[in-house]
Amino acid sequence: MKYTEEHEWLRAEDDVMVVGITEHAATQLGDLVFVELPDVGTTVSKDDEIVVIESVKAASDILAPIDGEIVEVNEVLVENPAMVNDDAQGEAWFFKIKPSDPSQMDDMMDETAYNKYIG
């Protein structure tokens, strides 16, 4: 598992990366009540705002962690946003992305580094 400073996690699954937000991020956001996912097939660039999430407190965005193509999205979250608070690093992934430049992941944190990052 790789982690970003934007509190996303990436898990390799064959030739795509599964992306979600960390438990830490979910806790900080509070209960989620709205999720808007990108269209499958969209080509995205690193740091594009591709997912909108709203918690009981406020709206925020999830950024594309790398360049690539969105190949699958987790529609279940649209109907059940609270799942992110219950299982952020398991079933509540947001999208799967096919990387166009896998080297962009070289500098990402591992779990130890991320835990240190959130202190």
Partner 1 sequence: MPDLKRTPLHALHAELGAKMTEFAGYDMPVQYPMGVLREHQHCRGQAGLFDVSHMGQVLIVPRTGAIKDAALAMETLVPVDILGLSEGRQRYALFTNDAGGIEDDLMVANRGDHLFVVVNAACKDADIARMTDKLSDTCEVVPVTDRALIALQGPAAEAALLPIVHDAPNMNFMDVITVPSDFGPLWISRSGYTGEDGFEISVKANRAEDLARALLADVNVAPIGLGARDSLRLEAGLCLYGSDLDTTTTPVEAGLTWAIQKARRLGGAREGGFPGHDTILRQMSEGASRKRVGLLPDGRAPMRAGTEIFADETSQTAIGTVTSGAYGPWIEAPMSMAYVASEHAQKGTVLYGEVRGKRLPATVAALPFRPAQFKR
Give 38 or 81: the residue with its C-beta nearer to partner 1. Answer: 81
Give 76 or 113: the residue with its C-beta nearer to partner 1. Answer: 76
Residue 33, interface with partner 1 (CB under 8 A)?
yes
- Helix, strand, or coil here: 27? helix
For residues 77-93, one letter each, b for 16 or more C-beta atoms within 10 angstroms of the residue's C-beta and e for the rest, the string is: beeebebbbeebbeebb
CB of 46 to partner 1, least distance (A): 21
Question: 11 with 105: CB under 8 angstroms?
Answer: no
From 34, 40, 75, 90, residue interacting with partner 1 (rule: CB under 8 A):
34
CB of 103 to partner 1, least distance (A): 32
